[in-house]
Amino acid sequence: MQVLFNNMKRKIICFKTNSNNYYLYSFRKRTYFLITPTLYKIITYGINVAKKELLEKQNGLSVSVFDVETVEDIEYALVKYNFFVDNGVISESVDFNILKNPDITKEIVFEEIAQCENIVLEVTQKCNLNCTYCINGKYYNNISDRRSLSFETAITFIDFILSFNYKQYKRNNLTIGFYGGEPLLEIDLIKKIITYIEDKYSSIAFKYKITTNGTLLKQNIDFLIKNKFKITISLDGDKNHNIYRKFKNGKESYNIVVSNIDYLKNKYPNYFGHNLVFQSVYHKKSSIESIYSFFKNRYNKIPGVSILSEFGLNEYNKDFFYKNLFKAFENKHNDYDNHLSSINAYFLNRFIKNNIGIYYKNSNCIEDKNVPYMRILCSCIPFKNEPFLRADGTIHRCTEIDTLPIGRVCDQTVNIDYDNILTEFNRFTEKLNMYCQVCYNFFNCDFCIYRASPFENTKKVICDEFKNYSGGTKFYKDCIQKIEDSLSHKELLTDIFYNLFLYDEFE
Amino acid sequence: MMNLNNCNKIYLYIEPYCCIGFSEVKSEVLIYNTITGKSLLFNDDFIFGLCKQITENGTNVTILHENQFNEILSKFVNSLRNGFFGDIIYSPDSLSSPFIFSPNLYLNKDLYSIYKNKFQEGLVNNITLLKSVRYVDVVIDNNFSINYDNLNILISEVEKLAFLKGLNIILSEFNLDSKFYCDLIVMLSNKIKFKSITVDLNLIPNFRSILNLFIKNNFLIKCNLYFSNKNEEFLKSIDEGVLNKIYNYVFHIENIEQYNYFNNLAIKYNISQFSFRFIGNDLAFVKNTLFFHRHELLATKQSISDVIKKSIFNVNYKGKLIISNDLSCYITPNFYVGNLKNDKIETIIYNSFFYDNSPWFLTRKQVEPCKDCAFNILCPSITEYELKYNCFNFCDYNVNNL
């Protein structure tokens, strides 16, 4: 691996698709170039081989690589190769500054807090379900005393965010996510929080989100609609796939949840269409294809799919967990590859957005020439992406990483341990930089740096998204291959190109 | 089973760094190479149809047949190859058409989500709207009534603009002796991070006395100078150091004499940052001065991003808002979008997006005669002069001249 770190150059990605078309992918130009087989050979075998064989061919000798090409073909391909090299289409150099994860300072964290527009509150750890794979269940070490968030703690945190002034940053809006347990068990607390903040901060536009298991949806739907909640419902698929989501008495939750969703769909079809998404857990008894088919057919929705958490697993039940419940992330990708439907639209959508053309965060960035594209990984910067207040008063970076708190609400005061979070973040990114700079999937990567916890012990970074040259070539080839395969499926192509931003809706 | 009968293909393609413009009227096609800055112009029906095919299927690729190869096509292909505009690939073993991504800009969130939710209830509360405004001109003149309510509305509404890059306070036509105006400027400047001030020098006799106030408050000062005999006296009276603090002079001119006068003045006083603004109603003068030649247009190298963004919106107007004394908001002096006293700023920005012919999105593809010109992909966005005179062909390329 050490050799990898010393070589900051990238090889040229070029390949032949299953349809016998040749492409090269240019990192600098951020797009694919269709190339002739002759140019492909020059890139693959090297320009010296091409020049040598051209000379031999001009002298009437037989050659091995450019055997079918004419002299004119080779000459033109060489000229074009040079043109591509001179103009950065073919380039091995890497802009170190672009391929670098950001170092953060206290000022950056201040800026993030001052601009923070999304927070998540764990209103309760209580739940009316007892899902087999729950992170508070027997497979995890999490010790939850099933407490609820106090009103004072919640508003202390919100007040801290909304009154945090730094430089001249102005905040006009805040999105609050309500999370659980099952947050609808604490509907009175949610109502109290909303009444308080809307009275106190009349100049702030509040938006609300909730992640629920759907069992209590029907009785609370009018309140949620009135406050324009974006609703995420956890449902794993049809009755068979939803088998792990049970009530405490062992009864399956599927029928009740689906009946509540159907009620919402029939009574408020417009709201259902625009404000409701599904989140499914991927496990041993499910497949991507069946999950997507279920939601597409029944609700005309594309669900989010997540794998089971591997954090904080209980050693005693670990073997059973991996044997009977857990299904690894890479299987998700395989399923994606095999399933030619809207899943491809999602996958390609993300790929195109990150790897093709010029992607701007918003239309105003177009005028800033120094903002060429954005990087997804920045979401790991504390307060950048939905800081999460747990019911016990600890503050976390997000709902996913709950083992490394960045602060605490205590006695109606918010304490943030700036020094610790800076040291931690910079230590993680410094190690990751070595990989990111040589990774061929850098721009498409949404790897969470805190998921790299295994390298604490092994001194080795485990990154699901890392792609070396061969992995990168396969990745870029697969993506254009999907497009080529889709050319005969007009509807799918339309889906891809006309819905490029569909999946930003709930970001 | 694969259909082997379709395997002998010749693909013609245009490189993704090239842009293509069409003139339906003239059956003309312009292909511009953003890497080399070179262009090709064809006015042949056959080539026109071929290029249409290439762009209409969205892949920059089309299939040719050997029997199509006449002299015109051969010439066309050679031109493409010689200038690296495109190429042909003879692929006897190709099983399906290759694909080239057309150059594109992908915009997250704001434009798209606004467009997508156009008819959804509650849209005007959408915070993304507030990110659309980049520059605000607040025009204050003699008619400005000393109304603190108006002022508070103005400040609170401008404060909401999340992505504001510049607040430009334009002072004109009033006497700056009054302490009120100075306090007003300081107050506004303290509220907004980015600030500049534009003053009409000729109309503010005591400008020199408040110059230090502007400098002290770190204003970027931009001066409008109209033709008058006082200009030279004024410039003489200001120290050279202070003269340089003014980051730009805008000379307002009506004719060639005034143009020459200001040019000489700039040389004499060593003013390097200046620009001209045409006033008055002499269309012939404006047209003669702004007239640009096709070779000038083609000589300006443009990136793919430059070309695409001009096709989406007007780079001169997008994100700009003018607020006048009575809190009326305009995009251009004639394009009213609302009043802050009656409308929320979200509503005003919403109007700026969706009014018919909103100058924010006024492109050459929407106006006569430019929309029928193949060069419209390269032309600069429509300017205030063209809007003022309602005349969009300040060029030597008359599309109607068939």
More confident residue, A177 or B176: A177
Beta bridge partners of B64: B10
**CB contact B307 to A (< 8 Å):** no
Q: What is the pLDDT of residue B109?
A: 47
Q: What is the pLDDT of residue B79?
A: 94
Q: B95: which chain A residues are within 8 Å (Cβ-Cβ)?
A: 18-20
Q: What is the pLDDT of residue A365?
A: 55
If pLDDT is split at 50, 70 and 90, which confidence band does A191 have?
very high
Q: Determine the average pLDDT of the residues in A195-217.
A: 91
Does residue B91 have a pLDDT over 80?
A: no
Does residue A370 have a pLDDT over 60?
A: no
CA distance A279 to A236: 7
Q: What is the pLDDT of residue B124?
A: 40
Which of A211-225, A422-436, A454-468, B153-167 has the least mean pLDDT?
A454-468
Does residue A473 have a pLDDT over 60?
A: yes
CA B90 to chain centre: 42
If pLDDT is split at 50, 70 and 90, which confidence band does A345 have?
low
If pLDDT is split at 50, 70 and 90, which confidence band does A382 have?
confident
Q: What is the pLDDT of residue A505?
A: 35
CA distance B242 to B221: 10
Residue A400 has φ and ψ, to the nearest 5°, of -80, -45
Lookup: tokens for B281:
């109603």
Q: B358: which chain A residues are within 8 Å (Cβ-Cβ)?
A: none
Does residue B37 have a pLDDT over 60?
A: yes
CA distance A427 to B304: 39
Q: What is the DSSP letter of A252?
A: B
Q: Determine the average pLDDT of the residues in B89-113.
A: 67
**Sequential DSSP letters for B35-78:** TT--EEEE--HHHHHHHHHHHHTTSSEEEE-GGG--HHHHHHHH
With beta carbons less than 8 A apart as the criterion, state whether A50 and A42 touch. yes
The reply to whether residue A31 touches residue B96, judged by beta carbons under 8 angstroms, is no
Q: What is the pLDDT of residue A245?
A: 93
- Nearest residue in A to B96, CA atom: A19
With beta carbons less than 8 A apart as the criterion, state whether B77 and B85 touch. no
More confident residue, B269 or B142: B269
Q: What is the pLDDT of residue B147?
A: 64
If pLDDT is split at 50, 70 and 90, which confidence band does A217 have?
very high
Q: What is the pLDDT of residues A164-177, one digit of tens each?
A: 887 656 677 789 99
- Nearest residue in A to B315, CA atom: A367
Min Cα separation B314/chain A (Å): 12
Min Cα separation A207/chain B (Å): 10
Q: What is the pLDDT of residues B320-352, one digit of tens each?
A: 888 887 888 998 888 898 888 888 887 888 788
Does residue A461 have a pLDDT over 60?
A: no
Does residue B5 have a pLDDT over 60?
A: no
Q: What is the ipTM of this complex?
A: 0.81
Percent of chain A with pLDDT over 70: 77
* Closest-CA residue to B370 (of B388, B383, B358): B383
With beta carbons less than 8 A apart as the criterion, state whether A161 and A174 touch. yes
Does residue A457 have a pLDDT over 60?
A: no
Using a 10 angstrom Cβ sphere, with 0-12 exposed, 13-18 middle and 19 or more buried, the burial of residue A194 is middle
Q: What is the pLDDT of residue B207?
A: 67
The reply to whether residue B87 touches residue A352, judged by beta carbons under 8 angstroms, is no
The reply to whether residue A364 touches residue B132, judged by beta carbons under 8 angstroms, is yes
If pLDDT is split at 50, 70 and 90, which confidence band does A183 have?
very high
Q: What is the pLDDT of residue A374?
A: 44
Q: Are strands B220-226 and A388-389 parallel, antiparallel or unpaired?
A: unpaired
Which of A79-83, A151-155, A492-496, B349-353 has the least mean pLDDT?
A492-496
Q: What is the pLDDT of residue A261?
A: 95
More confident residue, A438 or A236: A236
Q: Determine the average pLDDT of the residues in B105-119.
A: 52
Sheet of B18-23, strand order: B18-23, B28-33, B39-42
Q: Determine the average pLDDT of the residues in A31-60.
A: 92
- Nearest residue in A to B159, CA atom: A170
CA distance A65 to A54: 10
Does residue B225 have a pLDDT over 60?
A: yes
If pLDDT is split at 50, 70 and 90, which confidence band does A301 have?
confident
The reply to whether residue B35 touches residue A87, judged by beta carbons under 8 angstroms, is yes
> Could you say which residues from 460 to 489 on chain A have a Cβ atom under 8 Å away from some Cβ of chain B?
480, 483-485, 487-488
Lookup: tokens for A262:
């159907």
With beta carbons less than 8 A apart as the criterion, state whether B208 and B237 touch. yes
Q: B305: which chain A residues are within 8 Å (Cβ-Cβ)?
A: 358, 366
Q: Determine the average pLDDT of the residues in A262-269.
A: 93
- Nearest residue in B to A359, CA atom: B106
CA distance B265 to B258: 10
Q: What is the pLDDT of residue B32?
A: 94
Q: Please give the mean pLDDT across all residues of chain B.
A: 77
More confident residue, A64 or A202: A64
Q: What is the pLDDT of residue A404?
A: 75
Q: Determine the average pLDDT of the residues in A471-477.
A: 87
Q: What is the pLDDT of residue B345?
A: 81
Which of A113-122, A290-299, A494-503, B158-167 has the least mean pLDDT?
A494-503
Does residue B3 have a pLDDT over 70?
A: no
Top-confidence range, B36-45, B117-126, B292-301: B36-45
Lookup: tokens for B139:
């025009």
Q: For chains A and B, what is the number of CB pairs under 8 angstroms? A: 148
Q: Determine the average pLDDT of the residues in A212-234.
A: 94
CA distance B70 to B304: 32
Q: Which of A34, A36, A87 is facing B100, going by the closest CB pair? A: A34
Q: Please give the mean pLDDT across all residues of chain A.
A: 80
More confident residue, B149 or A16: A16
**CB contact B290 to A (< 8 Å):** no
Which of A123-132, B145-154, B258-267, B379-388 has the least mean pLDDT?
B145-154
Q: A357: which chain B residues are within 8 Å (Cβ-Cβ)?
A: 101, 103-106
Does residue B85 have a pLDDT over 90?
A: yes
**CB contact B301 to A (< 8 Å):** no
- Nearest residue in B to A373, CA atom: B106
Q: What is the pLDDT of residue A366?
A: 56
The reply to whether residue B107 touches residue A19, judged by beta carbons under 8 angstroms, is no
Q: Which of B116, B131, B192 is facing A362, going by the closest CB pair? A: B131
Q: A480: which chain B residues are within 8 Å (Cβ-Cβ)?
A: 99
**CB contact B84 to A (< 8 Å):** yes
Alpha helices in A186-287 (DSSP H): 187-200, 217-226, 254-267, 269-275
> Could you say which residues from 378 to 437 on chain A have a Cβ atom under 8 Å away from some Cβ of chain B?
none
Min Cα separation A19/chain B (Å): 5
